[in-house]
Chains A and B, each alone.
Chain A
């Protein structure tokens, strides 16, 4: 089955620790995205990538980093610089990106210990 796989489903971060969230897609989509969802805040764009080896900051990129070394993979690292990391993180992909329909993974809940 084609789709987007996010792992882990739940993740805990200790103070000062970097953690990496995995996102893999087998839809052969060019564009991939990371969103953060907080209660009452809706979806906010962290980073997006149009093609391999290229990515752009979204609206709330501070404290996060990404890489896009393969078309299928777009991991997100939450660094220690992100002081309020507790949130539900969603990865998505689209065929081309410009106004295209987004397909989402099932999300990762990140909490701080």
Chain B
């Protein structure tokens, strides 16, 4: 079983839709959970950072972590064409320097 699994998509939605992006992981030691957004041919940028289980909201973005099922989600409300990018999940133990990344989900929001 891979340490982090993420559906690569591509995912195409109309503007204004609610988007759900998901990852599963196998390492129960993960306790820090990050989502990065990467525009085409650019470096990833940190979008959301959460610790342990629960929800965190930032504007139109909500990160959700369920450690019991090893499932993490990113929700985007009122999606905009500027949200079109690849979204990478990155769960982390917090005890070493090797951050694990999912392969990324390519999202396109159509105007």
Q: Which residues of A contact B (CB under 8 A)?
A: 4, 6, 31, 33, 40-43, 45, 48, 50, 56, 58-59, 88, 90, 92, 97-99, 101-107, 109
> Which one of B12-20, B36-44, B59-67, B76-84 is at the interface?
B36-44
Q: Give B20-41 as 1s and 0s: 1 = Cβ < 8 Å from A's Cβ atoms.
A: 0000000000001010100001
- A104→B45 contact, CB < 8 A: yes
Given the interface contacts A40-B103, A43-B88, does A107 sit within 8 Å of B41 by beta carbon? Answer: yes
Given the interface contacts A106-B43, A107-B42, does A101 sit within 8 Å of B49 by beta carbon? Answer: yes
- A42→B92 contact, CB < 8 A: no
Question: In the assembled complex, which residues on chain B have CB atoms less than 8 Å from the CB atom of A109?
Answer: 41
- Interface majority SS on B: helix, strand, loop or mixed? loop
Q: Which residues of B contact A (CB under 8 A)?
A: 8, 32, 34, 36, 41-46, 49, 88, 92-99, 101-104
Question: In the assembled complex, which residues on chain A have CB atoms less than 8 Å from the CB atom of B94?
Answer: 98-99
- B97→A102 contact, CB < 8 A: no
In the complex, what residue of chain A is closest to B93 when comparing beta carbons? A99
Question: In the assembled complex, which residues on chain A have CB atoms less than 8 Å from the CB atom of B34?
Answer: 101
- A103→B104 contact, CB < 8 A: no
15 more contacts with CB within 8 A, not counting A99-B93, A101-B49, are: A40-B103, A42-B101, A43-B44, A43-B101, A45-B98, A50-B97, A90-B43, A92-B43, A97-B97, A98-B95, A99-B92, A102-B99, A104-B43, A106-B43, A107-B41
- A42→B41 contact, CB < 8 A: no
In the complex, what residue of chain A is closest to B32 when comparing beta carbons? A99
